[in-house]
Amino acid sequence: MIATTLTIAGSDSSGGAGIQADLKAIAANGGYGASVITALTAQNTRGVSLAEPVSLPMLDAQLAAVFDDLHVRAVKTGMLPTPEIITRVSHALREHRPATYVLDPVMISKSGFELIPAESVSALIDHLLPLATLVTPNVHEARALSGMAPIRDLDEAERAGRRILASGARAVLVKGGHLDHPEAVDLLVTPERTEAFSAPRLRVSHTHGTGCTFAAAIATWLGHGAELEQAIRGAKRFLTEAIRNGLEVGGGIGPTDPFWFLSSPETASDWARQLAELRETGGA
């Protein structure tokens, strides 16, 4: 049976981030994507001009519609704009207990638009961190979740990750896009160990939706049955190529290309074969 990954996040009207990016990443990594929209945003490649949360009855109805009918193996959350929405989502996760929950703590858009207020950060720490299989903050989000500043290198990233673990998450992946390091290094911190995942630091312009895409890909790999390290490694390869092949869409920061593997028959065949083996073996 194809793995169903549910994304609970905001909508990006330009299609480069949020729900739209998540669904593309889930499909590109061999999963079936379902969605619960938490907020509507008016945005394009130049930035966000307006964001509005959905009503609580609409949120509840979407959650019920998905969980009552589909077998959800993995959940990924992104933009959760209000404490009330965070609380409702946490109740749904506690009730339905998906095997995997990846928390992408979306707080600020790439253009600097504040997507959630401070009280929502506190609610997220109290209600969702204890449920998370994996939390995927960038440096700015890790500061907010850990109360630690600055975070400049891998040692400080590890200390921040351990503070976030103390809030109840099972694992933290501090993304290294803003760290002082020659490569793009993401640091996995668990109670037992740390592990670095490296990729070339690409000098490109079109990176809209990278965080959403990465977290959704990891959740999909976990939904297929991959172990955490294997899921991060596979998703990082996927994201690196999506960034490398970023799309010149609009007049600002364009999105990554989640279907980069369609550039040639050989690349498409190789990626499809890898995903087929993952689905057949359950990550073993």
Query: What positions carry a catalytic annotation?
Result: 175, 207, 209-212
- Return the SS3 of 58: helix
Q: Which residues contact 79 (CB under 8 A, 6 or more apart)?
A: 9, 10, 18, 38, 39, 41, 106, 115, 116
Burial of 5 (0-12, 13-18, 19+ CB in 10 A): buried
Residue 243 and residue 200: Cα distance in Å, rounded? 11
Measure the CA angle with vertex 99, ends 20 and 88; round to 5°: 60
Distance CA 153, CA 176 (A): 9
266: its two tokens: 């050989």
Chain position carrying tokens 């490569």:
183
C-beta of residue 115 within 8 angstroms of C-beta of residue 109: yes
Q: How far apart are CA 19 and CA 41, in angstroms?
A: 11
Return the closest-CA partner of residue 109 out of 259, 258, 253.
253
CA dist 24 and 3 (Å) reads 15
Q: Which amino acid is at 253?
A: I
Q: Which residues, in sequence order, are bridge partners of residue 141?
A: none
